[in-house]
Structure 1
């Protein structure tokens, strides 16, 4: 019989300019940052994104989706929590493979990618489940 390993959950806090990927430590509920992807072209707020920036933002969401899909195939996580502003959350969803999409346990339509890691952790702990 195989030894049961603990479930690994990744928390992704993203917006059009940055995607931060954390691993949730099961025993402590601490977030350990494992990746920080930056899109220098996406520094505008969602309202400021015009057609010429839209392409850059879509490319960034594809890059993030590719990273998540690759990690999914490599079994680096079992479950995903995705936190992003509604419009970017939709782009992320569009750019995930079916396998990665099935791993998404929760989608949170909030813009908190700019929070410090401990603030994201506190936000998640304070939310009603």
Structure 2
């Protein structure tokens, strides 16, 4: 594949992954990821949680905190995306990575990225472009 640049654009519930040539031209949508639980209300998530007894020895479960379950879902989505990026590294399909996401989710995503993915990260933007049409993204996301 000649497109060695991947661009990840999204938020805690919806992400689009694009590839582009080294100059950042000719963006192609590779995949879309959705995580509907990240959009659900915390009370709805509490009703459908997998293990109602989940907690720690040191205190109540994270779900007991305001927005706790939602935060856990944001972390889960970040780990899912991180695993996908790791597979991209394994298969040598990208050399450089650009991420555009809102600050809160960008921080979660950065924490979940492996060292080898972080080594390929050339730019991260704290901006939510998840609702922009794909044709407008190249004008908003600068490629180095």
TM-score normalised by L of structure 1: 0.83
Check 1:119–1:100 CA distance in 2 against 1; reply closer, same or farther (3 A cut): same
Gapped regions of structure 1 (runs ≥ 5): none
Distance 1:128 1:60 in 2: 25
Matching residue of 2:18: 22
CA distance in 2, matches of 1:92, 1:28: 22
Structure having the higher Rg = 2
Partner residue in 1 for 2:112: 95
Q: Give runs of ≥4 in structure 1 deviating > 4 Å.
A: none
Which residue in 2 is equivalent to 1:12?
8
Aligned equivalent of 1:43 = 39
Q: Retained in 1: the 8 A contact 2:9–2:15?
A: yes
Aligned residues: 119
2:122 aligned partner: 105
The match for 2:58 is none
Q: Which residue does the alignment assign to 1:34?
A: 30
SS for the counterpart of 2:99 is strand
Q: Deviations over 1:21-62 (max 9, x none)?
A: 000134670210001000111227xxxx81121111110100
**Closer/same/farther in 2, CA of residues 14 and 28 from structure 1, 3 Å limit:** closer
Q: What secondary structure, in the 3-state scheme, does the structure 2 residue paired with 1:23 have?
A: strand
Relative to structure 1, the CA distance from residue 28 to residue 100 in structure 2 (aligned partners, 3 Å threshold; closer, same or farther) is: closer
TM-score, reference length from structure 2: 0.75
1:117 corresponds to 2:113: no
Q: CA deviation at 1:122?
A: 2.0
Name the SS for the 2:137 alignment partner: helix
Does 2:58 correspond to 1:62? no
Unaligned runs of 5+ in 2: 41-65
Name the SS for the 2:89 alignment partner. Answer: helix
